[in-house]
Structure 1
Amino acid sequence: MDIIQHLTRTVSPAVLGDDHNPAKQNLLEQFYAIFAARLADKETYGRFANENIARDDQGFYDRVWTDGSHRDQISRELASEHNVDTTAARGLTAMAAPLAFHEIKSLAGSTPVPQFLNENRTNYENHIPAWASTVLPVGAGALAGERISDTVSTTPLVREEEEKGSFMKALLPIIGLIILGALAWALLRGCQDNPEPVATPAVVEEQVVEDTETDMAIASDIEPASLRIAMGEDNTLYACRMNVGDEVLQTNVMNALSSAFGEEANKCRADVDDSFAVDMPAAAQLATILPIVKNVPNASMIIKGDNITVNAPDAAVLDQLVTDLQAAAPSMTVQAEGPLDLQGEIDDSVAAADVAIANLGENPDPRDVARALSIQVINFELDEAEIPEVNKAFLDRAAKIMAEVPDLNLMIIGHTDKQASNAYNMELSRERAEAVKQYLVSQGIDASKLSTKGMGETDPIADNSTEQGRFLNRRIEFMVNDGTVNAADDMTIGNNTSGNDNTFDPDLNPLDGNNDDVLPDGDDPTQGTALDPAN
C-alpha cells in the first residue's frame, strides 16, 4: 500500500483545485510523509484520537504541531525547497492536514493509526527530509536520519561522514548487535527462571491495547452525518432531511441550502443528536454541489460520510450528474444509485433495526427507541395495511424492550408515495400507522402510550420519479410524542395522547378548502403556517 501515492491522488486535488503547479504538488507530497511520521507517534495521535475531526478544520494542523516554532519551520523549509511562498505553504499544509488524517484513518481501518503507520513506514520514510527530525518526536525523527527524501540534496554530507570513517567505526554496528543479542539472551533467561515479574509489563501493555480497541468501538457507534435532498420537476426543492451531531453543523448545512434554494431550504428537517457525527466531509463543497443537483429536475442526492449517491429518471442525465459532482468534490466517492433490491433492503433494514434495539441498553432515551424502530422497512402489500410476517418478529422483540421504558410516548406516522390521489394516500397511511399501533398493543404495549397519524404523500424524504425514491417514501416513522411540536416541523411530535388521530391533525381536514387549524399547518402547507382564530 503506497500511502503517499494514495494521499497525492485523493487529498492533493481537493487542496489544490485547479492549480496544477508541480512545485505545490511536490510540497504536499513531502508534507504527507512528515505528517504520517507525526501521527505514527502514539502520544501525538492520542491527543485527538477520539475527536471527530472535520475535513475543513484548518485548526487541526495547529493541534498536531502544538509548537508554533515547529509549524513555522515546516512552512519555511517546505517553501524554500519547493520555491513556494511561505504563507502559501502554511495554507496548503493547514488545508491538507485534516483531509490526510481522514484518508489515513480510512486506510488503517480497524488497526490503530500509529500501529498502521509504523507497520507501513517504508511507504513514506523515503520522502521525509533530513531537517524534519527537529519537528518530529524522537522515535519518528530517526526516520529522517535513516532515510532521506530524494527531493533534498544531502549527498555531500553523507559522503563526508563516510570519508571520516575508521575501522573501529565500521565495527561499532557489529558490536552493538552483539550487545543487543546478549541483552536479549539475558531477558529470555529471566523469563524462563522467573516469569512473573517480566510478564507484568506485558499485561499492562495488553490492557492499553484493549482500551484502544474499546475507544475505537465507541467511536464506531457514531453514525456519519448525512444530508438527503430531492428536486421537483421545476427545479424546486422537493424533499430535504439531515442527520447531524450538533447545531454548528446544522447551521453550516442550512446556510449552504439557503444559498442554493432560498426560502425553500426552510422545509429541510433536521435530526440533531450526538449519535451522529459533528462533521460532514462534503460540507466545504456544498456551495458547489447543491447548484449542480438543483439544475437536474427530479434528481435526488444522499451525502453520507465520504459517499455521495445520486439518482435521476434519465440514465444519460444521471451519468452526467455523477461526472459533474465528482469534479466538484474530488475527495468524495460519487456513484449512481443502483437498481432497487427490494428484499435485500427489507432484510438489511430489519437486521439493522435488530442491532439498534439490542444496543439500547438499560433506561434508553425514548428518542433512541424511536430511531431504532424507524430503521425497519415495513413493506405493506399494494393497497393493504397488513403487517408482513418479517416485521412481526422484529416488533415482538422490540415490544419487550418498549414495555420497560416507563416514559415512552410515541407517535406512529404513516407515509406513502405519490402514485394515487391525495385523499386515498392520506387514508391508506393512517390505516397502516394504526395497524402498527394495534399490533404493538397486542404485544402488551399500553395503548395510551401510542398515537397514530397519516401523512399520505405530504412529507416525502425522496423523489417520487424513481422506483428507489418511491420505496423510501413508503414508510412508517416512530417519533417521540412530547406534546410540544408538530410532526412536520421537527423530529419531535405534537400533542395527541388519546390515540385518536383526528384530534391531533393540525388541519382537521387538510384536503378541504378551508383552514380550520388548531395548530400550524405542518401537514397542509397550502394553508399557510399561521394558527386559525379560535372556532
Structure 2
Amino acid sequence: MNINLIDLLKQKVSAIVLEGETEYLSEKSQALSSFFPILLALFKSKPELIGNLQSQLNPRLSDIFATHPDLKQQFLEQISGTVPTATIESTLNHSIAPTLGFLESEAGSSEPSAIAHLIETHWPAVSSALPHWAPALLSALGVSIASGHALHQAPAVEPYRAVEEKKKSSFLLPLIAFIVLAALLALMFKACSDKKETEPESGVPAQTATSEPAKLQLSTGSTGDLTTCQLYSGNASYIDILQKDIKQIFNHNIGCGVETNASYHTEFIDQDAIPSVLKLVKGVPNASLTWMGDQLSIQTANPADAEQLAVRIQPLVKNMTVMTQAASATSEPVDNMTAISAGNISAEKALAEINPDNIRALDIATALNMQIINFDTASSNIPDANKSILDQAAALIKRASQVHLTVKGHTDAMGDVAANKALSQKRAQAVVDYLVKQGVDPAQLQAVGYGSELPVADNATAEGQFKNRRIEFEVLNTETGVAREVNEQGVNQQ
C-alpha cells in the first residue's frame, strides 16, 4: 500500500489534538506517536472495542482499559515520562474520537469489521511502529500482535545447552562490556576533537548540512503581550534557559511550546542577543517574529513599527539579516485567531457537557454556535480545527432523531453579491456533508446560503467583516414548524 496509517495519524490527528497547545508539546506528540500503533493493534484484534468507542460521546482511555484498570496507570506511567500522567491522559483521551473518524474515512465505512480489515492490510507499518515495551502490554490485555505471522521468538534450547551457553556468557560479558566502553570513549574523544577543529570563532555556531536550523516564532496581541510562541532546538538545556527568559520578559506563565530533537541545530545564530531582542518586541502591538538560521523576520500590522524594530535590532545581531514586512492583507489578525481558538474550545466543552441520555436540539445548536468556522478565502474546505467539534456534534445528533438543524452560511459584503451567496451556500453544504459523512441522517440537516444579506456587524471595518463571515445553526421544531435560532444574545424565536 502507498500510505502509512501511522504517519497519517501523526500528521492529521496529532495536528488536531495538539492545536493551540503550548505546554509539553514535544512530550505529548511523542506520547501520541506511541499510542497510535497500540490503539490500532487493539482495534485489529478486538473489533468490538471499535463499536464500543463509537457509541461513546467522548471515548476515553478508561473505556479501552475497562477490563484492566490497573494496567491503565502502568501504561500512563510508561508513556508519560516526566510529564504528569493526568496531562498525558487528557491528550490521549482527545485523540480517540478523531482517530476513529480518520479510520472510518480511510476504510470508507464505520463498520468495525471494515476498520479492522484496513488495519490488517497495513499491519506491517503498524507493528513496526509499536514501542519495544508494547508487546508485553498488549499481551496483558489479551492481544497477540502476530497477525497471522509467527512472533519473533528464540528457538527452543535444550537444558544442557542452555547451561553451557550461560557459562560462556558469564565469561564473555565482562570482555564485551570492556570493548564497548573503550569504543564509546574513543568516539567521545573523536567528537570533542572534531568540535574543537570545526567550531568557528565568530558568533555563528557550527551547523551540519543535514540538520534544520533552530527556530523561534512568537506573536504579540493588540496590547503587545505574548499570544503565541514556539521553539525548535536540539539543545534542551538552552531551551529551558530561554523559556525562563521569555516567561520573565513577557510576564507569561506558560511560555513557549517546544519541540526538541536531534534534527534541529543546538544553537541559534547570535543567540546571546535573543533576550535583548525580545525586550524590544514586547509592547509592540500585533507583531510577529521568526528567528531562523541567519535571518530574522519581523512582521507588524503597522509598517512603521516593523521598521523601527529593525533599526534597533540589527546592531544586536551582527551575523544575521533582519527583514521586515507589513502584515498581509489576506492573513488573519492575531486577535481573530485568539477569538477562533477561544470559541472552538468553548464549543468542545459545551458539547462534552451534554447528557447523551437527554439530548436537546437547542443544546447542540448553542454549543455549535460557540465555534468559529474560519474558512480560507474563497474556500469551502472545513478547517481541521473544527472537525473534532463537528465529530462530537455528529455523535450526539445520531443518537437523537428528533434533532433537525439548518446550517446557515453568511459572508461579508466584499466582492460580487451573487458570488458571495453561492459561496455561502457551498460552505453551509460542506458542513452538512461532513456531518452526514460522520453518520448523521441527511433528513436531519439542510443547508442555506444567505451571502451578505444578514450582516451582524459593520462591513466597513475588518473586525465587522470577520464577524459577518460565519456559519450559524438553527433548530427547527418539526412538530410546530417554529424555527429557533441560538446566537450571542441567547435563544430567539422566529
Superposition TM-score, scaled by structure 2 size? 0.35
Asked which structure has the greater CA Rg, the reply is: 1
Higher relative contact order (CA closer than 8 Å, sequence separation 6+): 2
Superposition TM-score, scaled by structure 1 size? 0.33
